[in-house]
Structure 1
């Protein structure tokens, strides 16, 4: 009980007047109220609070101060019968009674009601909801549900689920804490029982469990081979054949792979469930098929087949760079670095050079065939040849003649001859062309411009063609072997011998071996420059057409 007086008044007045005298006494009794003693009760049970007040002519009003919500409050009257609220946790309910007397005094008192939670444990229920048709069979997805589990408290709920397998074959469920769990009916040699326990916990922390047993049926086939999914790969890919998902009822199994169709490949290990091979070089989409035989420890076996579709690698009709190593900013590194990705040695033609089915020969992915002056193919080891066919691009390239002298005392196709950029187009001489002086940088008595040299070569039906021309920038770039940087020339001298000196056209003695392309540089209206590629450094630049540079002619067969 708590006593809180709000008004306490005692007043005594004494007055005297003149020669006579008299007295009058007046006093007010202080009001009090008592809310009763604190109580200990159980949730949802009835309890009564009764207050007493003095003087007895006052009125009582009850209100909730703190604690769980209470129906019917505020309320009037000295005595109140109340039903304790439904609570989740033990709680203290504080009630206050206010007492007001007829003369206006107001006092109050509080009482505590300690309410104990009386949680009813939930009920756990297991049902099988899938497959729809029972009994379940091998490879069926079995679903067990705890949906019918319930908390019997009026405002209660099931907060969590926990599934535990107590008996049966090893099963892997999709989750062990969901309302439902699913798993696949395993391969079984005999009918087998499985037992699961479901534990449910309500929102007040109460838990209950139940167990249920089900029968898993035996399988007609006690071994099922699985060669894996069919695959689509690119030539030269490493292909993995995987039969590890084959199912058996015994503890161990063995596998044996055999190729059924397609170009023969070499399996890394035919007697392993997982093996690999390198997809062969193909020119068109091709198909390989393989069969795996899976055998259990009781010598029972089953087979399955997998199809591997192989497509040609999209290498394109241009040459790679000739690089077989990868680099960072300063040194050689392992290819495949995430910091320096997609390097030529890692993803280009050169990266699969040892697997390419070449027509001729050449470093890495380069593929050249030597030809005589009539365009007949020669052996790869021929030492005398007039032109070279690039088997990647299909282009035929001029091979220069050796020369022990400098122009003009040279032969027409001597490597040391050099020319100004002077070319004809569809409408005549191209803009910016400059005709070099006769018998100056070449032996021609007409002039030393490019077109004169082209005409001379075509007139001789050199290497079986009359369509020789100056190469485009891209065509000439395709001959560069960047792995030869640091040498006097970055062309392969085995196929392009008789190259000029790298200082012949240098003005300061440094290495400089410029070769013309047919492409004019867009330098404004004069168009006075064309692109050259320096065969000593692989640099390219716009070069005045009036200057002289070397040339290596090219032609396209069939044109």
Structure 2
């Protein structure tokens, strides 16, 4: 391509007015330059560009206008030998030459260099990297790697990997588009050939493939029983035993479960590969063991076992409320209702009452054992008992004697007797005289009654005392709402009639003083007819049910 800048020769004969004789003509010639013919070349190849300029005494300067970068610019001189850049796709480079001769303005011309991409295809290499010791055996993780594959282009890189299985058995493979391919050596009755095809694509879209063949060896044992992982559960929890992870070379197999050690559990189906049982009531951490026998369709067998650790549920060492039913605002409902969730009947010890291995008897989770006057256990249906042992809390409770007359002409432990609160250093005006609300000749105070009972070595103990607030409340069975008393009268008979004491129906003293300022003149009572508590003046009288630790 040429560029000329010319001032034409002016002839006087061509002008209508031409001045003066003897004068010479004004003649001016400007510079011209030609960058040469556009070129088409291949990436990384050498090429030469040559510019021509007029008049011949000028200088040439080359610069790059656009396109992939070339080294060394700007360059001086009419002829330049260059190396085409490495390109990812066909590209164009525009170079510009400037030419300036003496006494004239600079002129320029462009040349276009079309550079064709010459992508080299990837070199595909497959190696087996796992297991480290070959040949592989059953359950080994087998890994095929393409990481040794390369892109021979200087600035090239591998973009994608794609594995295809051409032949062989079905395998459990997570991904086919990673640089590595992994699978587990399966259970095989005979040596098995596998064939793979790996296709790699580079960052310029070039693809290359290779085929990789391998052989997996047969397995010595053709049945592999798998009882599953060991488990840790809580008592009463539903436990699932699952042997479906077992493998055989046949299409079908059968399972048979048996318990080896621990508390006897009832399996939902011992002849199914998946079976369940509800963990039994335990008092301490207990370990169960189970074994599964897997038999394939050709009669070949294998066994495997697992351990199930059963821990006691954190039910605590206090009694529950005795409420075994759930309700909405107006009526009884199924405890599984999402509209009224987490009711007392579906939480805590009572919700497992039908699964508890109780020592004695009692409603829901209450567990009481009858004791005779020597603190020996007697039958649950015995009518001859003097004390009650709470098997949940471990406490031993006084059972009142049968009505023996009219207060104060009653026996020592008659349930009708009632006392004012005088434990410890609490002082107040004593308004309850001897032989008034109890048969004591000295005082109808609680402490006098405690002393008398301990002097008797009653029911094998001399550590009888008033119960704490929590201990006494633990006898209340709120499931008996609407009945005369909220305590099991078959276990705690001879409860007096309500209303015999003014203000409260069936008040029973606790050992805890109520914080009512500085006077400390009140202690808590529990009303056995309603389950309510009340800070009650110590100078008033209330009933007493003594308790002791074992």
Q: What is the TM-score normalised by the length of structure 1? A: 0.83
Question: Are the counterparts in 1 of residues 404 and 414 from structure 2 also a CA contact under 8 Å?
Answer: no
Among candidates 444, 462, 468, match of residue 466 of structure 1? 462
2:432 pairs with 1:437? yes
**Counterpart position of 2:539:** 546
Cα offsets for 1:284-328 (capped at 9, x unmatched): 444433332211111222223333344444544322333445689
Residue 544 of structure 1 deviates from its aligned partner by 3.9
Q: What SS does the corresponding residue of 1:134 show, helix, strand or coil? A: coil
Gap regions ≥5 residues in structure 2:
10-19
Q: What SS does the corresponding residue of 2:240 show, helix, strand or coil? A: strand
Deviates more, 1:279-288 or 1:57-66: 279-288
Deviates more, 1:247-256 or 1:472-481: 472-481
Q: Equivalents in 1 of 2:73, 2:390: separation in Å?
A: 101
**Counterpart position of 2:200:** 200
Question: Are the counterparts in 2 of residues 336 and 346 from structure 1 also a CA contact under 8 Å?
Answer: no
Residue 204 of structure 1 deviates from its aligned partner by 1.7
Question: Are the counterparts in 1 of residues 4 and 30 from structure 2 also a CA contact under 8 Å?
Answer: no
**Equivalence map 1:65-76=2 (5 Å):** 65-76=65-76
Question: Are the counterparts in 1 of residues 41 and 113 from structure 2 also a CA contact under 8 Å?
Answer: yes
**Counterpart position of 1:426:** none
2:444 pairs with 1:448? yes
**Counterpart position of 1:41:** 41
Q: Equivalents in 2 of 1:404, 1:106: separation in Å?
A: 138
Among candidates 457, 475, 478, match of residue 479 of structure 1? 475
**Counterpart position of 2:118:** 118
Cα offsets for 1:364-405 (capped at 9, x unmatched): 111012334554544323456443221222212123456699
Q: Equivalents in 2 of 1:245, 1:533: separation in Å?
A: 58
Residue 469 of structure 1 deviates from its aligned partner by 0.8
Q: Equivalents in 1 of 2:340, 2:24: separation in Å?
A: 108
After superposition, the CA RMSD in angstroms is 3.7
Distance 1:529 1:555, change over 3 A: same
**Counterpart position of 2:133:** 133
Q: What SS does the corresponding residue of 1:73 show, helix, strand or coil? A: coil
Deviates more, 1:497-506 or 1:242-251: 497-506
2:255 pairs with 1:255? yes
Question: Are the counterparts in 2 of residues 434 and 545 from structure 1 also a CA contact under 8 Å?
Answer: no
Question: Are the counterparts in 2 of residues 43 and 116 from structure 1 also a CA contact under 8 Å?
Answer: yes
Q: Equivalents in 2 of 1:84, 1:369: separation in Å?
A: 101
Question: Are the counterparts in 2 of residues 400 and 498 from structure 1 also a CA contact under 8 Å?
Answer: yes
Q: What is the TM-score normalised by the length of structure 2? A: 0.85
Number of equivalenced pairs? 539
**Counterpart position of 1:236:** 236
Q: What SS does the corresponding residue of 2:350 show, helix, strand or coil? A: helix
Residue 512 of structure 1 deviates from its aligned partner by 5.8
Distance 1:170 1:336, change over 3 A: farther
2:489 pairs with 1:493? yes
Distance 1:79 1:304, change over 3 A: same
**Equivalence map 1:266-305=2 (5 Å):** 266-305=266-305
Distance 1:4 1:23, change over 3 A: closer
Distance 1:407 1:193, change over 3 A: same
**Counterpart position of 1:528:** 521
Question: Are the counterparts in 2 of residues 198 and 209 from structure 1 also a CA contact under 8 Å?
Answer: yes
Question: Are the counterparts in 2 of residues 8 and 31 from structure 1 also a CA contact under 8 Å?
Answer: no
Question: Are the counterparts in 1 of residues 509 and 526 from structure 2 also a CA contact under 8 Å?
Answer: yes
**Equivalence map 1:69-88=2 (5 Å):** 69-88=69-88
Gap regions ≥5 residues in structure 1:
11-19, 424-428
Distance 1:43 1:232, change over 3 A: same
Residue 493 of structure 1 deviates from its aligned partner by 3.1
Q: What SS does the corresponding residue of 1:446 show, helix, strand or coil? A: coil
Question: Are the counterparts in 1 of residues 335 and 346 from structure 2 also a CA contact under 8 Å?
Answer: no
**Counterpart position of 1:396:** 396
**Equivalence map 1:345-384=2 (5 Å):** 345-346=345-346, 348-382=348-382
**Counterpart position of 2:12:** none
2:511 pairs with 1:515? no
Q: Equivalents in 1 of 2:112, 2:188: separation in Å?
A: 65
Q: Equivalents in 2 of 1:59, 1:392: separation in Å?
A: 111
Q: Equivalents in 1 of 2:502, 2:165: separation in Å?
A: 85
Q: Equivalents in 1 of 2:65, 2:40: separation in Å?
A: 17
Question: Are the counterparts in 2 of residues 265 and 280 from structure 1 also a CA contact under 8 Å?
Answer: yes
